[in-house]
Amino acid sequence: MHAFPGGAPALDFAGTLRFRYRSDPREDMSSPESLSAWFRESGITEREIPCEATDLREALELREAVYQLILARMSGRAYDQHALALVNDYARKPTPVPQLTAEGRHVEASIEQAFAAVAQDAVSVLGGPDVSLLKECGNPECSQVYIDRSRGARREWCAMDPCGNRIKAAAYRARKRMSGG
């Protein structure tokens, strides 16, 4: 199962390389099957998309481009032109089209449509009103970026489990050591 703490598919897609600041980051998209599962779990499609190794390589390239653009936007730096061109190329392509069936809403997608959905979401997030709400997780090892829609924009972690719990537990242990307890 994949994690979706970012508040937008593009942020969660970029976050599939977890704990980037560790010497051993965790790759959540390590196979074509995990890529297919991510698209289904994210809601971009309702069925597994047949994915090949080449699709996985393409996904990782798109993911890194999205991540570079997110970091540039958050820090006020200029966008990397290659990353910008790659995301914009995908964003120009058709996205999945929901259909109404007797059972309700149904969405199927090709791999290209799924990539386009992620790219269009990146354009919406980075060019929209929520861009000022982007934050990186307060866990020094975590690199997940999320949209902080909390009251007063006081959210510190991508999610309580695991990041918030780890930081709170470490702070508690430090307070106990300081008080001699």
> Would you write out the chain's pLDDT as a tens digit for each of its 181 residues?
888 989 999 999 999 999 998 899 999 999 999 999 999 999 999 989 999 999 999 999 999 999 999 999 999 999 999 999 999 999 999 999 999 999 998 999 999 999 999 999 999 999 999 999 999 998 888 889 999 998 888 888 787 777 766 666 666 666 777 777 6
Would you call 105 helix, strand, or coil by DSSP? strand
4 within some domain = no
CB 158 within 8 A of CB 15: yes
pLDDT of residue 169: 63
What CATH number is associated with residue 132?
1.10.3300.10
pLDDT (tens digit, 9 = 90+) per residue, 167-180? 666 666 667 777 77
3 within some domain = no
How much is the mean pLDDT over the chain?
Answer: 91
Nearest to 121 by CA among 82, 63, 179, 177: 63
123 within some domain = yes
Nearest to 114 by CA among 43, 60, 64: 43
Tokens in use for 47?
């069925």
CB 37 within 8 A of CB 2: yes
pTM of the model as a whole: 0.88
b/e code 21-31 from CB counts within 10 Å (16+ = b): eeeeeeebbee
Domain holding 118, by residue range, is: 9-178
Nearest to 82 by CA among 69, 91, 95: 69
DSSP 29-94: --SHHHHHHHHHHHTS-SSPPP--HHHHHHHHHHHHHHHHHHHHHHHTPPPPHHHHHHHHHHHTSP
Instruction: Count up the domains in the chain and report the number.
Output: 1
100 within some domain = yes
Tell me how far apart the terminal alpha carbons of the chain are, to the nearest angstrom.
39
